[in-house]
Structure 1
């Protein structure tokens, strides 16, 4: 994992378009209208966009880690707890067997732990993603009705994730239960 830079924009956009095509082929909503915006976030000087590279050359994942999430949906006590907020995670659909989304999520959990934070939080709009994130160890905390959609808020306690280095080096899950 490394911070994104402006030069990554074309490769990130290409990966997001591939994910959009994969989603659309399955009748799922995609980020087609937001590809350029998501790719342009590589220019963020705050350095909160992170990329997962395969073999140090191919971008296979992208996520954003922020110091706090949106204020709505979380209680005042939850907002007071030190946490990272993980969002806009996108992975190359051609490498699903390597589980890049899980690797990025677990990297964020480990990173938050090493930073002395208590939680990693995220949200999504789909019950299917709730199930996917639950398999990564996140649990559903809140469901909200927004103007036009239902929003699911999830959290996972920060903890050390041993074996991530081996996973990065080999491209294969090396953590207990990673084969699920």
Structure 2
């Protein structure tokens, strides 16, 4: 069974190892990634400023995402930011053929948002191929493209909705 829960400091090594495996996979394929991502995201686990969630199975970290209650000013209008939404940042998964762990995390976020009274889930990507995957395979809608720190940012959203067949458990009390 897959579980998703808020990360704590005890997850830092697992997060770093999982992101390390993903960045090695990306490097082998010539894909760009943020150098130092493993250490940066791992340090956020258990930090109250960041709400990092981990996807785990049998005690091992298979993925993580950072969930914010507020959408970034640089990507969304004031009107959009006034709407109750979640913003996913820094989603990472262990490379795995056919498991679609990122899609599992995205579906959990849609369900989590709906259960907590949000109307949508938002995310961004800096790689056009990743944006295409999110939109064409996972069903996200591209809202806009904009420049951010010299790179094109692709800003996307999906309506929050319950996922009754979601194969992820959330421990009670979290």
Normalization by structure 1: what TM-score? 0.87
**Structure 2 partner of 1:82:** 84
Which runs of structure 1 show a deviation greater than 6 angstroms over 4 or more consecutive aligned residues? none
Q: Is the 8 A contact 2:85 2:122 kept in 1?
A: yes
Give the count of matched residue pairs. Answer: 165
Structure 1, unaligned stretches of length 5 or more? 170-180
In the other structure, the counterpart of 1:109 is 110
Greater relative contact order, per chain length (Cα 8 Å cut-off, separation 6+): 2
TM-score, normalised via structure 2 length: 0.90
1:23-73 CA-to-partner distances (Å, cap 9, x unmatched) read 000001123323211110103125610000123x11100001110121012
Question: Given the alignment of the two structures, is residue 160 of structure 1 paired with residue 162 of structure 2, yes or no?
Answer: yes
Structure 1 residue 78 displacement after superposition: 0.9
RMSD: 1.4
Corresponding position of 2:121: 120
Partners of 1:33 and 1:43 in 2: CA distance: 18
Question: Which residue of 1 is the match for residue 54 of structure 2?
Answer: 51
Relative to total residues, which structure has the larger helix share, 1 or 2? 1
Q: Is the strand fraction higher in 1 or 2?
A: 2
Larger mean Cα displacement after TM superposition, 30-39 or 155-164: 30-39
Output aligned runs, 1:13-162, within 5 Å.
Answer: 13-46=16-49, 48-55=51-58, 57-93=59-95, 95-134=96-135, 135-162=137-164
Distance in 2 separating the partners of 1:34 and 1:89: 11
Where in structure 2 are there 5+ consecutive unaligned residues? 170-174
- Separation in 2, partners of 1:74, 1:43: 27
Paired residue secondary structure (2:154)? strand
